[in-house]
Structure 1
């Protein structure tokens, strides 16, 4: 497993491969290449999907294709619901067309090289950095009717809650409901650096975060929410980077 120090802007990933030596090879690369950290490895796609459903999304999924039971191609649509980037890692070039149809974000050939893997990580981080340069501070939420959209200022959003295939967006004065997945909303808001996901069903605004006590966050509207286990590491890293004295300590 990854032994690198945790950084707030590191990509969080999982690996899926039915060959133990392939898992070990990729684990070693992840431990060596900066900017990415490993959450967990799996020998089949079903176990990975179950884990993600229980513990929440990751930034990247590295998956083999030719696996017994549920192949990487067959699992693509399900896996993409739990990540921003699905990358195939395979020894076969014959699946390239299938990968294009599945709209995956990368296709790495075995045996993996440090250079190819590092380039893939750099490309993902560069894409995320590009989105972070956006300076608009609003989103549009689709309404109940066709061509009906509601503009919402990001700074007014207090928290967002998942509700089946819908999300509820709560501002200081209104509540909006739109047909979407929470992961899609999270990706759309990621450029603002104003929001952080604290559980499978809740995203909070850092502007409206009043206090953190243990594993509970308190918002300035009086509400509080528990922080899910998979999300505590990222919140802790954010707090460590932003608490009073952290800048002085870095300089020291």
Structure 2
């Protein structure tokens, strides 16, 4: 089937045959994706990527012999595809997000989570291909009340919190998630929650604080924010739903 402009081309690299076949099946199920190639090793895949710079998305296992997924990301030819890392362990999350990958999937991967990751990769890919435009003065300088400086990798990064979807706890650090980026902050979720000056950021789970202005809809105690779903914990449900403005 010929590739249409709306389709994303993708490559899979995983040395585990069962995991690789699962990802291939997920790609086959997804109308917006076209599988260009699937590899059991990163070295042969690197040669393919060098000769095919148009690949949009790379589904990449982390733990592989000879050349790990993390090491492969560091030497990918430019322009790089959007990378979605796939692993059996959460321990690589800090290093993975520091490499500015699109997303990080933990095995066994569920199809719904796969679709979320692909949606984020598609948004990032579209943004990278969009022609530069002259931002308005308002866009250049967000309202000061929505901007905070956050320490990320020993740098103070200026974030417009109107664009933040949610903040997730990851062990002793937190991940601030927008539609196009994930920022690792070396502070606990509790510490961030206590310092956030915005009333519309609410704790809805022991692992999540959400921007209620970014909730698209709620279904079965799941909050949908862009391509992501965040659960509302049982102990938070009564207070959270009572706080929502509704008819």
TM-score, normalised on structure 2?
A: 0.49
Greater RCO between the two (CA within 8 Å, min separation 6)?
A: 1
